[in-house]
Amino acid sequence: MKVDKYVHEKVLSFSLLILILCSCGRTVNIKIPENEIRDDLQQKFPESQTYGGIAQVTLQNPSLMLGRSKNLLTIGIDAVITPRELGVIEISSGRVVFSSSLDFDNRTGRFFFSDVEVDSIIIDLSTLESRIQRGIRELIRELLRSNLENSTFYILEPSDVRTSIAKLFIRNVTIEDDGILVTMSYN
C-alpha cells in the first residue's frame, strides 16, 4: 500500500511533540487536508464486477464531499454498466453517492472506512427488466460495501519507530469540512 508522504511526515513530526507534551497531559491535533484524502481515494477505483453474466458494473472517478454530513466522508462515484454479450443491453451510466465514517486501530496503526452506506443510486436502467434493475442496484451496493467497508484508507508505517510510538497516542479521528482531524494525547 502506498504511504502518503504528507500524512506520514505530519504524523512523524507531531509524534515527537507528543512525547514532550505527554507529561503535561496536552492534546495535539493534526489536520489531513482534503486534497490528500482525495488522492488516497482515487487509488481505490476503478472497481468492476459482473452481474448474472450479462452486465459488468464498473465504479470509477470518485469525488469527495466533506462537510455534508457530521463526521462522515460523503463520496460520489460514477457507475458504468456495459454489456457482457453483444446486443444484450445498452450501455448505461450514472452516479452513486455513499457515506462512510473513518476509524483508527491503535494496535495496527490503520485508518479504515466503516459504516459504509449507499445514499443514492442515480442510473437510467429503464431499458432493463425491473428484476435486472434491482439486481444491478444491489450489485452496486454490495460492490461498494465489499470494496470499502473495513478497507484501509491509510496505514502508519509499521517499521518506523516514530510512527509506532505515534499510533499509541491517537485518540480520535474526526471528519471536518476541510479535512480529517487526528487528535493525539496522553491520558
pLDDT surpasses 70 at 45 = yes
- What domain range is 50 assigned to? 5-185
What CATH number should be reported for the domain holding residue 124? 3.15.10.40
| Residue pLDDT, tens place only, 47-98 | 888 777 777 888 899 998 886 667 888 889 998 888 766 444 556 888 989 8
Read off the pTM.
0.70
Chain center to CA of 130 = 31
Cβ(184)–Cβ(169) under 8 Å?
Answer: yes
| Residue pLDDT, tens place only, 172-184 | 888 888 888 888 8
3-state secondary structure of 125: coil
% of the chain at pLDDT higher than 90: 5
Structural domains of the chain, count:
1
* pLDDT classification of 1: cutoffs 50, 70, 90: very low
Q: How many other CB atoms are there within 10 angstroms of residue 63's CB atom?
A: 14
Cβ(23)–Cβ(59) under 8 Å?
Answer: no
Q: Which residues contact 14 (CB under 8 A, 6 or more apart)?
A: 28, 30, 166, 184
Kindly compute the dihedral angle of the four CA atoms of residues 146, 59, 96, 145, in this order, to the nearest 10 degrees: 0
